[in-house]
Amino acid sequence: MKHIQTVILDRDGVINFDSPDYILSPEQWLPIPGSLEAIARLKHAGKQVTLCSNQSALGRGMIDQAMFNRIQAKMIAQTEQAGGRFDYIAVCPHGPDDGCACRKPLPGMLLDTLNALDIQDKSTVVMIGDSYRDVQAAHAAGIDAILVRSGYGDADAIFEKSKVLMPNIQSFNNLAEAVAMLLDQ
C-alpha cells in the first residue's frame, strides 16, 4: 500500500483509548502506546494524516465546546511532541438522531476531507478505524479501510461484519502495526 498518500484516522480507539462513557476531559484522553509515534512515522514518510471523528458528547450536552477544544488541544500537542501533525481535522458533533450528513457511518466527513485536501484519486486514501461505522463510512466514500483492534467493542465481530462490505479488509492490533504495514510493504 505504498501508493497510499493520505491516511484518515478515527480518534477514539485508534489514537487514544476509548471509553463506553465517552472522553469528557483532557485527563481522560490517553494515547494508545505507539499511536502518536505512528502518526509521526506517516508524516516523516511524506503522507497526509487527517482525523475524522464522531464526537456526539458535544451534541448530547455531555461536554461543551470549550472542554472539547481542550481535549483536542492535548491530542494535537502530544502528537506534535511525538513528531507528528494533522493535515486536516473533521469532527461531527451531532448525536445519532440529529439527521446530519457528517456522522459516520455516513460519508460526509470523509468526503469533506477529500474535498478540503483536493484529493481526486481515492485509491491513494485509506481510513483506519476501530468500528463498523468507520468501515461503512469509508465504503460509502469510495475509499479503502483498515481496522484496528484497540477500540472499544468486539473486534472479531466488527472484523467479520466488515468483511462483507470489504472482503480484503485487514485488521491489526493497533495503529502502530497498521502503519508499519502501510509503510513497509
pLDDT tens for residues 27-54?
Answer: 999 999 999 999 999 999 999 999 999 9
CA-to-CA distance for 51 and 133, rounded, in angstroms?
A: 15
Nearest Cα residue to 103 out of 53, 165, 51:
53
Which pLDDT tens digit goes with each residue over 79-127? 999 999 999 999 999 998 899 999 999 999 999 999 999 999 999 999 9
CA-to-CA distance for 178 and 174, rounded, in angstroms?
A: 6
CATH class of the domain comprising 6-184 = alpha beta
| 2 band by pLDDT with thresholds 50, 70 and 90 | low
The domains of the chain are located at 6-184
Q: Which pTM was predicted?
A: 0.96
Q: Which residues contact 140 (CB under 8 A, 6 or more apart)?
A: 105, 106, 107, 110
CA-to-CA distance for 167 and 42, rounded, in angstroms?
A: 25
Q: Which residues are catalytic?
A: 10, 12
